[in-house]
Amino acid sequence: MHKKLFLYAVTLLILSSFIVLGENLETYEYIKVDDKILVRQGLFFDEPTSFFFNFSMPSDAKSVSLSVDGVYVDLNNTEYYQVRESSHILLEYSTSLYSDDSSVFFSILSLYKSDTLSIRVILDEEDNLRYKAIPGEIITSVYPAYYMVLSDGKSIIITWIKENVKEGEEFSAYILLEEKKEGINNAFLILLALLLLLVITRAYYSYKNQRIESQKKVSSKKSPAKKKKLEILDYLKEDEKQVVNILKKKKGSAEQGTIRTVGGFSKSTLSRILKELENRNIIVKEKKGKKNIVRLRTK
């Protein structure tokens, strides 16, 4: 907002000075905004004038408007407009054909015999001239070289002033801009962060699954005998379970006679039970003198 007010104030100051002096003035103003140029082309007469206002615009011109003495008019023809007894004409439009990332360039033909021709370029706030002006150096960023450079504190303003300009006289300008360093695209950074997060997540779950599998293997190695034993006990008959329980209460071993007395088994029944348990590797019988010692297998 402050920038616009400053520019309007400077424009009014320049125009008022020429009008007071009673001169015809032709102005061109090129305002760079990002990759577009806003163009303002004006004619100011010291007295009301009638003529055909011939103008040409680039093929991509947009937001075209024409005002005569401060009143906007309908444009039925994009090549000329018949001006009748008017003292102020202003054509405005936008285009992308007068600039790129590293330069501003344009060429104009004076539309009317003017006492003064004023051309002004207002660069974008992020733009800088490629070469700094150094006294005694020939290198310059602005062509033609007879120009004035000002600043409103934010933007660089370049101005050319020509006097006694003939109708159809050509003027071309070329401005070299400092090349902007390309930053890393935000979308690329977001994509990179997501990919990194995905890799970390997959690595974490892979490590977690490996630990679980490793723990399962260790667990299966530690408890096969116990599992096997439990499976055998599940399939024991009641009298076989009774014998095993008696041995457990006797801390894993007992005399055969003790088992028969505690369990109330007959000799033949107990012999059959012990033989079956021995065949299944659940117990082992040992001869100790005249007595038979029965033990539970630990493995």
Local structure of residue 145 (DSSP, 8 states): S
Instruction: Quick: pLDDT tens for 189-200.
Output: 888 889 999 999
Fold of 2-176: Immunoglobulin-like (2.60.40)
Arithmetic mean of pLDDT over the chain: 80
Q: Domain spanning 225-296 has what CATH number?
A: 1.10.10.10
Instruction: Quick: pLDDT tens for 34-50.
Output: 889 999 988 898 888 88
Indicate if the pLDDT at residue 1 is higher than 50. Answer: no
Closest to 42 measured CA to CA, from 4, 1, 83:
83
Indicate if the pLDDT at residue 159 is higher than 90. Answer: yes
- The most confident of the ranges 10-24, 51-65, 127-141 is 51-65
Which pLDDT band holds residue 73 (cuts at 50, 70, 90)? confident
Q: Residue 39's pLDDT is what? A: 93
Those residues with Cβ within 8 angstroms of residue 160's Cβ, 6 or more apart along the chain or in another chain: 117, 118, 119, 120, 144, 146, 147, 148, 171, 173
Which pLDDT band holds residue 205 (cuts at 50, 70, 90)? confident
Indicate if the pLDDT at residue 225 is higher than 60. Answer: no
Q: Residue 181's pLDDT is what? A: 66
| pTM check: above 0.75 | no
Q: Residue 235's pLDDT is what? A: 72
For 141-267, where are the E strands, in sequence order?
142-143, 148-151, 156-165, 170-176, 253-255
The larger pLDDT score, comparing residue 4 to residue 177, is at 177
